[in-house]
Structure 1
Amino acid sequence: MGFTKLIENLFRRFLPSPFTIAVLLTIVTMVLALVFTGEGSVDSNFTSILSHWEKGIWNSGLLVFAYQMMLILVLGHVLVLSKPMERLLLGITKWANNTANAAVLVVVSTMLVSFFNWGLGLIFGAILARKVGEHAQVNNIPLNYPLIGACGYAGLMIWHGGISGSAPLKVAEEGHIPDLLNGITESSVIDQLPSSISTSLTILSGWNLGLFGVVLIAIGLLAYFLGKKSVPTAISLKPYAFNSVSRKDSLGAERLDYSKWMALFFGILLFVAFLVQYLAPLQQLNITPNMLNFFMLGLAIVLHGSFKSFLEAVQEAISDTSGILIQFPLYFGIMGIMAGSGMITSISDFFVSISNTTTLPIFTFFSAGLVNIFVPSGGGQWAIQGPLVLESALQLGVPLPKAIMALAYGDQITNMLQPFWALPLLGITKLKAKEILPYTLIFMVVGSLIFITGLLVL
């Protein structure tokens, strides 16, 4: 446990808040661009860098991207606060009669849900872990609660390779790849790139689904083994209460806010529009952020059963997006500097010089894992690192879907080390980071071995 304590102390001592990290990365990027790029006087170069920065911050395409990613988080959180999800969570909890069984139930359920939506999986895993702890406490079941909390966080190690993954979802949008590389590489090179890459080649490809299956089984077995070997811990929890909506104070037109028929009608309307708009790409297994969010919006309204319940869940969920909301423009500004100054091309050339078609995905995996420690947002990381990955893969002839998923795998796996996204789980479960880190680090090592092997073999 000494190693995990060291990791926790290092994060506390040397890593400030994610927003401060984004500011520091902005300053460092400006200095590097000033020193290593540009021609002419320092004043003119600095002015150009500031111009690139401003244009990146307010890049309209990337701002749309930021809103899409925030909706994925918010709508996923809203879904898990619905009554049907509450019943599902309580149903799973009843089967948790010892630490080993509980660990498998929590980790497998959480990873399956997270593969569909990472925001849903994050809160689902947290509440499920909390309810398992409460169940053990009420029924006097010996339980290692920190291990269960770690299992509830394990969905964040597979999310980017899932249906809500930022990078594979964005490249599935028509025109995203040329737009991302516009102004970074020559137009003749951009013309050789596909306008989009279908999720049938990334998220829903046989090799990615196979890797997910291997990780699911391996981490499930690992959780069971750890549960068998773990020592029970003391649990002191108050019952976690889901929000309930009362109609007794509604008057006149306010009754529409509580009407289940109104919510059902509007939800069905959304589903009809969804089928009209997205049935063709869905049949081709090509999923985009707008498609996913449209479906989840309709599903959330139907499952909540009233606009009032839905809006109260939105109010609770939206607080988790505040940090992301303000960080995204800063990461877009960093990308603007790197693109406008030519840094992306220089860094890509370096990776190409030390890589080949076999090693580039591995380098991408490790670099993405490192970047995730400082940029704990998959969307923000794709904005910064995506052009580097695409440029390098293009030069070396590495299949673009493989390069994109290598970034996704590296980004997601170090979530087991970076505690930023664990904050909602820690708040719900009342655990501390140092309590779950010993187990999440083991998950990270095993998951990394599987993903690296997959990138080398598949």
Structure 2
Amino acid sequence: MGITTTIESFFKKVLPSPFVITVLLTLLTIFIAFFFTEAPTKKNHFLTILSYWESGIWNNNLLVFAYQMMLILVLGHILVLSKPLDALIMKLISGVTNTGNAFLLVSVATLLVSFFNWGLGLIFVAILARKVAGSAQLRGFKINCLLVGASGYVGLMIWHGGISGSVPLKVAERVHLASLMSVVSTPELIAQVPDSIAFDQTVSSSFNLMLFSILLILIPAVLYFIGKRVGVTPANLSVYKNPIQTTQNASGTEKLDTSNILGIGFGTLVLAAFFYQYFNAIGSLAITPNLLNFFVLGLALVLHKNFASFLSAHFESIKGASGILIQFPLYFGIMGIMKKSGRVVQISDFFVSIATTRTLPILTSFSAGLANIFVPSDGGQSAIQGPIVIESALKLGVPLPKMILALSYGDQITNMLQPFWALPLLGITPLKAREILPYILVLMLVGVFVFVTGLLLF
């Protein structure tokens, strides 16, 4: 796999850290807006652009979105660190006896769990992959640990078309689409924007579920095929220990932290409120970030049993959300410049001029994939590209649900090129990005074929 080594070396040389990429994109957007947009009358053009940037950073709706995405990651991580899920992982790996079923278990698990919750999938399968490799080492059979690691990352190739996908979640919220377009489009186009796009038109549509089912079969098959043709890798891993710590011999008010009755009782209260509040929404598949996060919060409290365990998992999990916390507002600033300077309309007009009803979803998907390499953050990217996609679709008459999925597919597939979200996996296993890249590139090509074919034929 010499070509994958060359690609990995190229990206290592030319791609700076994600935060530096965000800063460079901000500066580039300011430069483009200054030199390629019309200056306002009687105002300093540069200072006006900076005001666009500042207002975008503190956009209330987008800040709510950022916090929702942080909670998806953090709560998913907290959930997987609970003892019941740890026991489930041990139960799953007990059946691993050779390389073939190791790849099968890890890849199928990451696809299924990530479809439900990408934050949960990231951590659950990272721990699963580490324990599979460790179990093989202890039980005396050899496997390719690099391929097992790659198997644990394929969930990031399907997550955006899943239940926790940020774009499908947000467009299912009432008036989100209209608020997203309010500063960009004309009143005539905004009038064409639906109040919301429900899950049965995107994530749970027969089209999306069919593509997911194909990948659920195809990805493990490809991994098994690769595994038959590559050698094993030596492993020298220490036994993975759950990092959760609870207070021993609690006294006084500390007993409240370690009380299972209080912890489970409060978690049950959260779940009761969840089912009362969202029962009808679940029945109509009107899944939103708040619905998903509220359920995972209640479930995590119940499974951890007490607040000491829950908070210990929280302190461990919050580290993984640091990138979202600091980078998302900068992406929102870019969006503020793009919207208020009129660049969104100009770019959408360009897509309309070169695309047809048939090719617009493909162009959207490829452009989303390209953007994801440089903006490895679905929320930041969708905030910038979303208005372009919506306006182009309205002008050409392409169904919005299909365009939402095209954007999601493009964003998720190039996670295989820019494994920004693989940091939890790499930290837990522990592997290096360049070691798993040759394998995930092959899987990315499989995904590209499935998604492009689906968008063309259906």
TM-score where L is the length of structure 2: 0.98
Deviation readout 1:322-376 (Å, 9 max, x if unpaired): 1111000000000000000000000000000000111000001111110000111
Question: Matched residues in 2 for 1:207 and 1:366: separation?
Answer: 19
Corresponding residue of 2:331: 331
Paired position in structure 1 for 2:408? 408
Q: Are the structure 2 counterparts of residues 203 and 218 from structure 1 closer, same or farther at C-alpha, using a change threshold of 3 Å?
A: same
Please tell me the residue identity of whatever aligns with 1:64: V
Name the counterpart of 1:216: 216
1:366 aligns with 2:361: no
Distance 1:220 1:288 in 2: 30
Pick which of 426-435 and 108-117 moved more.
Answer: 426-435
Moved more, 89-98 or 355-364: 89-98
Quote how far apart the aligned CAs of 1:188 are.
Answer: 2.2
Deviation per residue, 1:375-430 (Å, 9 max, x gap): 11111111111111111111111100100110100100111111211111111111
Q: In the TM superposition, what is the alpha-carbon distance from 1:12 to its structure 2 partner?
A: 2.1
What are structure 1's unaligned runs of at least 5 residues?
none
Question: In 2 relative to 1, CA 330–247 (structure 1 residues): closer, same or farther, beyond 3 Å?
Answer: closer
Tell me the alpha carbon deviations over residues 150-185 of structure 1, each in whole angstroms, 9 at most, x when there is no partner: 001111000100000000000001110011011100
Tell me, yes or no, if the aligned pair for 1:100 and 1:226 is still in contact at 8 Å.
no
In structure 2, distance between residues paired with 1:229 and 1:343: 49
Post-superposition Cα deviations, 1:426-452, rounded to whole Å, max 9, x if no partner, equal 111111112111110011000110011
Does the 8 A contact of 1:100 with 1:225 survive in 2? no
Shift of 1:246: 4.2
* Contact 1:334/1:384 (<8 A) preserved: yes
Give the equivalent residue in structure 2 for 1:198: 198
* Cα distance change of structure 1 residues 342 and 245 upon mapping to structure 2, 3 Å threshold: same
Determine the C-alpha separation between the residues in 2 that align with 1:207 and 1:192: 24
Root-mean-square deviation (Å): 1.2
Shift of 1:41: 7.3
The one-letter code of the counterpart of 2:296 is M
User: Counterparts of 1:159 and 1:278 in 2: how far apart (Å)?
Assistant: 23
State the secondary structure of the residue aligned to 1:436: helix
Look up the match of 2:110.
Answer: 110
Residue 231 of structure 1 and its aligned partner are, at CA, apart by: 0.8
Shift of 1:304: 0.9
Q: Name the residue aligned to 1:243.
A: 243
Instruction: Tell me: CA distance 1:15–1:42, structure 2 relative to 1, closer, same or farther (3 Å).
Output: farther
The aligned counterpart of 2:139 is: 139
Maintained 8 Å contact 1:178/1:195 = yes
Q: Which amino acid aligns with 1:7?
A: I
Report the equivalent of 2:309.
309
AA partner of residue 334 (structure 2)? I
* Larger mean Cα displacement after TM superposition, 4-13 or 112-121: 4-13
Once the two structures are TM-superposed, the CA of residue 8 in structure 1 deviates from its matched residue by: 2.1
Q: CA deviation at 1:7?
A: 2.1
Query: Residue 386 of structure 2 aligns with which residue?
Result: 386
Work out whether 1:99 is the aligned partner of 2:99. yes
**Separation (CA, whole Å) in 2 of partners of 1:135 and 1:47:** 60
Structure 2 gap segments, 5+ residues each: none
User: Map of 1:164-179 to 2, 5 A cutoff?
Assistant: 164-179=164-179
Alpha-carbon distance in structure 2 between the residues aligned to 1:246 and 1:387: 47
- The one-letter amino acid paired with 1:8 is E
2-side partners of 1:305 and 1:208: how far apart? 36
1:22 partner letter: T
Instruction: Find the aligned partners of 1:177 and 1:112 in 2 and give their Cα distance.
Output: 29
Aligned residues: 458
Output aligned runs, 1:50-129, within 5 Å: 50-129=50-129
Normalising by structure 1, report the TM-score.
0.98
> Within 5 A, what are the aligned runs for 1:264-279?
264-279=264-279
Q: Distance in 1 between matches of 2:38 and 2:327?
A: 27
Tell me the CA shift for residue 200 of structure 1: 1.3
On the 8 A contact 2:185/2:345 being kept in 1, the answer is yes
- Superposition deviation, residue 11 in structure 1: 2.1
